[in-house]
Each structure stands twice: as structure tokens, then as C-alpha cells.
């Protein structure tokens, strides 16, 4: 019989067994294999306890697929369970507040998917609830902060090699809504600003601030809605999957496209474009940074590399060069089974790194995790992100005047 660990295990659960929920489920499973270096030693045993989803077949299938002990059909069952310590909340945005507040009141550490809430008011209430439990980790998930390539490029800004960013140009172009006969879901409900902007634009705004610091103001927002009605699905739908639809249609309430410009507090300019109807681009996130001494770029379709330009090469051969991510870059050493240069990785790995950072902080204490992985952003950061998105929405007033980010 193997020896029993003297350290109590961390019991984890995920609420939501859809597309992103499965990424969290797999992330916790993989996070337990990450060790050494910046990941730290001493993580207690982790028990994969429960998957909760209102659609029981999804919960059962996910629990079996990812090795969790049981399936539940309500978040309340997770909150009441004595063997669960840390929970990911990965459900429709309008459900976040009730669930997060209930979990915190039950003494659970919480990692909530972005956007934190459907409104600033809801997010403010969630942050206030977290403040009442300072011993609990209350975090929001922005997974692209865990990309090895993104962080390697950011290090070239932070260490002064590229100098200050003067222009961040970012796009997140997806095609999950390009088919007008794709079924209606919660993603298509809510007012302008709650569509493509909240769903994928929240990531892009966060990346802009990751490189340039806080936004000061935004202006010139243009929202476009292309598909105004969508059919109702016959059954339950996972993520963006196509499924059988009925002859009954419902109105689409929010935007398919959003563009805007921004000014960062450090004086940099940001240009942003998001779309959920970009044909042929299932997950087309990318950005360029133009800096004091050079430039750099990242494309999610090529996750294991970034490009950079500076003045180190003679002019006759100077230009952008490809950099393959390797163990000298963040998250790779100890984070990938084959942790050497040129070995591919994908977006799902970012969830593993994020889950490990969350568990490290749960084990080490709020703000003092084991290891040296950056902590998962607190819910207050999720509130700031929503305030930025709210400013983007207000900047669609047609005046062209800058709208401050509160």
C-alpha cells in the first residue's frame, strides 16, 4: 500500500461541462503533472472530485472522460460538498454572480471564466463578496496570459530590449457565428457589447493591457450585427457545435463585429477588431506591437512561435525573424512532456498552466503561492476588464469623443 500523504488533498470541481468547461477539467488533470522550476514543489495531492452541469448526460460524460469521481446536476451540490475545496465556474455569463457568491459563502476557492459577469454592477457585487473572504482565492481566468510565446515577447518589452510599446494592434477573428443557421444560444442574448466584444474582445483588451498597462480611454466604436435571427436547437448544445435545429427562430440581440481604438495611460495607441463571423478562421487571435526599438507579433494559429524585429542585425539582412519557443521561455520547462525547443503546444496547455497557478495559490495562500508562477488575476481585474468593455460600448455613441475607462 502506498504511503499516505500527511498533507490534506485539494479537492477540485468544475461547474459547466461545455467546451471551455472541458478545458478546465483537462487542465486540472494535467496540472498535477507539472513540477519543478517555476511550478514549485510541494503541491498537495489533487483529487478530481466532481463535474456539475444542468444537463446530466454532459456531466456524466465529462466525468468519465477526464477521470473525475462523480457527476452532479447543480452548482449547489458542489457548494455543499465537504470534499471540494477549489472550483472553476465555466457557465453562461449571466449565471456567474449567483454561483460565485454561493461558492465563496460555502468556503470554496473560485476561478471564474471571463468575462467575470454580464454587467459591471454584477462584477462589483462579486468583488465585494470576495472581499468578505480574504482567506479564499477569488480569481478570473484570462488564459492567453499563460502563452509561452506571448510571455516571451512581453519579456522583451519588460527587460527594455524592445523599449516601450507605442502601438498595440490586435484582432480576434472567429467564424463560429458565420453560419446563419447555427443555433441560438446564450452568446446571442443581451445588448450591444455582450456579443463578440464580451466573448472574445475581453481577451483582446486584456492582452493589450498585458503589454501596455491600463487603458485610459476608448473612442470610435462600431458595432455591426449581420445575423438578426437564429433557429432554436432541438436539444442541448456544447460550445459552438452545429446541431439539429427547429423551425422556430429567436432574435439575436447583440453584435457580430466590433472595432474601436484606444489610448493607454502610458500614451500608447491601441487598435482593436473582433468578429465572430470571420469565414475560415475558427480561432484567429493575433496581435502586433510596435515599440521604441523594434516590433513583435504573435499568431494563435502558430502557438509555438513569435516574431520579433530589432536593430541587432546589419541593415542589409535586418527584418522580422521567427523565434521557436523553447525551455528558456516561460512555461515550457517542466510544463510540457517534451520540454525542448520546437515541440508544439496548443491553447489547451494554457489552461493547464492556469489551473496549476490557481492550485499553487490555493496551496500557498492568497497572494503567496508555492513556486513562482504568476498568480491568476483576482476578480478585481475581471471587474476592471468589464469597465473597459463598458467604455467601449459607450464609445459607440457616434460622437467620436474619447470615453474614459473608469
Task: Indicate the helix (H) or strand (E) that contains 56.
Answer: helix 56-66
Average confidence (pLDDT) over 292-311:
97
The DSSP symbol for 176 reads: T
CATH, domain 148-302+304-342+385-404, list 3.40.50.10310, 3.40.190.10, 3.30.360.10, 3.50.50.60: 3.30.360.10
Which long-range contacts does 143-146 make (Cβ < 8 Å, 24+ apart)? 143/203, 143/347, 143/350, 143/351, 143/354, 144/203, 144/206, 144/207, 144/210, 144/285, 144/350, 145/206, 145/207, 145/210, 145/354, 145/374, 145/377, 146/331, 146/349, 146/350, 146/351, 146/353, 146/354, 146/357
pLDDT value at residue 261: 98
Confidence of residue 238 (pLDDT cuts 50, 70, 90): low
Distance CA 297, CA 320 (A): 9
Mean pLDDT of the chain: 95
Distance CA 197, CA 203 (A): 9
* pLDDT for residue 6 is more than 70: no
Average confidence (pLDDT) over 127-141:
98
Q: Tens digits of per-residue pLDDT, 253-277?
A: 999 999 999 999 999 999 999 999 9
pLDDT value at residue 1: 45
* pLDDT for residue 5 is more than 70: no
Task: Indicate the helix (H) or strand (E) that contains 305.
Answer: strand 305-309
Domain 10-143+354-375 in this protein, CATH class: alpha beta
Question: Grid coordinates standing for 304?
Answer: 509555438
* pLDDT for residue 334 is more than 50: yes
Dihedral, CA of residue 362, residue 366, residue 368 and residue 370, to nearest 10: 0
Q: In DSSP terms, which residues pair with 93 in a beta bridge? A: none
One fold for 10-143+354-375 and 148-302+304-342+385-404: no
Q: Where are the domains of the chain?
A: 10-143+354-375, 148-302+304-342+385-404
Confidence of residue 243 (pLDDT cuts 50, 70, 90): confident
Distance CA 61, CA 38 (A): 34
* pLDDT for residue 239 is more than 90: no
Could you please report the per-residue DSSP string of 256-295?
SEEEEEEEETTS-EEEEEEES--TT-TTEEEEEEEESS-E
Distance CA 236, CA 185 (A): 10
- Overall residue count recorded for the chain in this entry: 406
* pLDDT for residue 45 is more than 70: yes
* pLDDT for residue 278 is more than 70: yes
Amino acid at each position: 500500500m502506498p504511503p499516505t500523504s500527511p498533507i490534506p488533498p485539494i479537492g477540485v470541481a468544475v461547474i459547466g461541462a461545455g467546451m471551455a468547461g472541458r478545458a478546465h477539467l483537462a487542465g486540472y488533470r494535467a496540472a498535477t503533472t507539472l513540477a519543478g522550476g517555476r511550478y514549485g514543489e510541494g503541491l498537495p495531492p489533487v483529487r478530481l472530485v466532481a463535474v456539475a452541469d444542468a444537463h446530466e448526460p454532459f456531466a456524466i460524460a465529462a466525468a468519465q472522460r477526464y477521470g473525475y469521481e462523480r457527476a452532479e446536476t447543480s452548482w449547489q451540490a458542489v457548494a455543499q460538498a465537504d470534499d471540494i475545496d477549489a472550483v472553476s465556474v465555466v457557465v453562461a455569463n449571466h449565471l456567474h454572480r449567483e454561483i460565485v457568491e454561493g461558492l465563496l459563502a460555502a468556503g470554496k476557492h473560485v476561478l471564474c471564466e471571463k468575462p467575470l459577469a454580464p454587467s459591471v454592477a454584477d462584477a462589483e457585487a462579486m468583488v465585494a463578496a470576495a472581499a468578505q473572504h480574504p482567506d479564499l482565492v477569488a480569481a478570473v481566468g484570462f488564459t492567453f496570459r499563460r502563452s509561452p510565446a506571448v510571455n516571451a515577447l512581453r519579456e522583451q518589452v519588460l527587460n527594455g530590449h524592445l523599449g516601450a510599446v507605442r502601438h498595440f494592434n490586435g484582432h480576434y477573428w472567429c467564424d463560429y457565428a458565420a453560419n446563419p443557421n447555427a443555433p441560438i444560444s446564450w452568446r446571442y442574448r443581451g445588448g450591444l457589447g455582450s456579443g463578440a466584444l464580451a466573448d472574445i474582445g475581453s481577451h483582446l483588451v486584456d492582452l493589450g493591457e498585458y503589454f501596455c498597462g491600463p487603458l485610459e480611454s476608448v473612442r470610435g466604436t462600431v458595432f455591426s450585427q449581420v445575423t438578426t435571427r437564429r433557429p432554436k436547437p432541438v436539444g442541448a448544445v456544447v460550445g459552438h457545435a452545429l446541431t439539429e435545429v427547429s423551425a422556430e427562430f429567436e432574435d439575436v440581440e447583440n453584435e457580430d463585429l466590433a472595432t474601436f481604438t484606444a489610448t493607454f495611460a502610458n500614451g500608447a495607441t491601441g487598435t482593436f477588431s473582433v468578429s465572430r463571423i470571420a469565414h475560415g478562421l475558427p480561432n484567429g487571435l493575433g496581435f502586433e506591437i510596435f515599440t521604441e526599438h523594434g516590433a513583435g507579433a504573435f499568431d494563435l494559429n502558430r502557438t509555438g512561435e513569435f516574431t520579433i524585429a530589432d536593430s541587432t542585425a546589419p541593415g542589409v539582412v535586418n527584418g522580422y525573424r521567427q523565434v521557436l519557443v523553447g525551455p528558456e521561455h516561460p512555461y515550457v520547462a517542466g510544463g510540457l512532456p517534451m520540454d525542448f525547443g520546437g515541440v508544439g503546444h496548443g491553447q489547451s496547455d494554457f489552461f493547464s498552466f492556469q489551473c496549476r497557478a490557481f492550485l499553487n495559490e490555493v496551496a500557498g495562500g492568497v497572494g503567496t503561492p508555492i513556486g513562482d508562477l504568476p498568480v491568476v488575476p483576482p476578480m478585481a481585474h475581471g471587474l476592471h476588464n468589464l469597465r473597459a468593455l463598458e467604455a467601449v460600448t459607450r464609445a459607440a455613441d457616434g460622437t467620436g469623443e474619447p470615453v474614459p475607462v473608469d
